[in-house]
């Protein structure tokens, strides 16, 4: 079985069943005669762009991030994630740069993507940095200020205090 075929099967499994761990997927694949280690399945899940959520019944499960079945996450979830992981927020024009500790950017970006935050066109996460594109009418400065409030960070020097 090729990597693409295995990933397709993993996608089918998580779409049809409540699965909350890579180990459960390894077991299901093994039951179907497909050999895969937990490390391989974990990499597959990352490449497929999956996230862990609580579904409408409160069960933890792995789903595709772009799944149309997902309702926007509550705003409190974004506030908790930003409060826990965001260390700084800067902006330029319609761009916002959000910094986190190493290895944490994807957690915040996933919460941001699922939040349906007003003014966000999209985001790209690296290891410790998230680039957020603000809608033109909303602007990066305004969005950055909203993020700072959500993260519990004090506002960086305001335009008035810069003498502008």
Tens digit of pLDDT for each residue in 8-21?
Answer: 999 999 988 999 99
Q: How far apart are CA 164 and CA 138, in angstroms?
A: 20
pLDDT value at position 77?
81
Domain that holds residue 94: 75-151
Length of the chain: 164
List, in sequence order, every residue forming a beta bridge with 134; answer none if it has no partner: 120
Statement to judge: residues 58 and 106 lie in one domain = no
Statement to judge: residues 87 and 147 lie in one domain = yes
User: What is the end-to-end Cα distance of the chain in Å, rounded?
Assistant: 62
Average pLDDT, the chain: 86
Q: Would 92 be classed as within a structural domain?
A: yes
Statement to judge: residues 41 and 96 lie in one domain = no
Q: Would 43 be classed as within a structural domain?
A: yes
Instruction: Report DSSP state, residue 78.
Output: H
Domain count, the chain: 2
Q: Would 164 be classed as within a structural domain?
A: no
How far CA 153 is from CA of 25, 144, 148, in Å, comes to 39, 11, 5
Q: Determine contact, residues 35/25, Cβ cutoff 8 Å.
A: no
Q: How far apart are CA 82 and CA 114, in angstroms?
A: 13
- Supply the pTM of this predicted model: 0.53
151-156: average pLDDT:
73
List, in sequence order, every residue forming a beta bridge with 92; answer none if it has no partner: 95
Strand stretches in the chain, DSSP E: 50-54, 60-64, 88-92, 95-99, 120-125, 129-134
């Amino acid at each position: 079985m090729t990597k693409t075929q295995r990933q397709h099967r993993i996608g089918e499994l998580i779409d049809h069943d409540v699965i909350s761990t890579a180990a459960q997927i390894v077991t299901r694949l093994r039951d179907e005669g497909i050999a895969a280690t937990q490390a391989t399945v974990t990499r597959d899940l990352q490449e497929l762009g999956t996230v862990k959520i609580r579904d409408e019944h409160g069960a933890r499960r792995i789903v595709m991030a772009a799944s149309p079945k997902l309702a926007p996450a509550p705003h409190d979830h974004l506030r908790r994630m930003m409060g826990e992981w965001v260390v700084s927020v800067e902006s330029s024009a319609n761009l916002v740069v959000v910094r986190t500790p190493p290895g944490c950017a994807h957690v915040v970006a996933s919460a941001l993507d699922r939040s349906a935050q007003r003014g966000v066109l999209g985001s790209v996460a690296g290891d410790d940095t998230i680039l957020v594109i603000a809608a033109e009418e909303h602007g990066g400065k305004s969005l950055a200020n909203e993020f700072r409030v959500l993260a519990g960070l004090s506002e960086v020097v305001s335009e008035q205090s810069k003498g502008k």
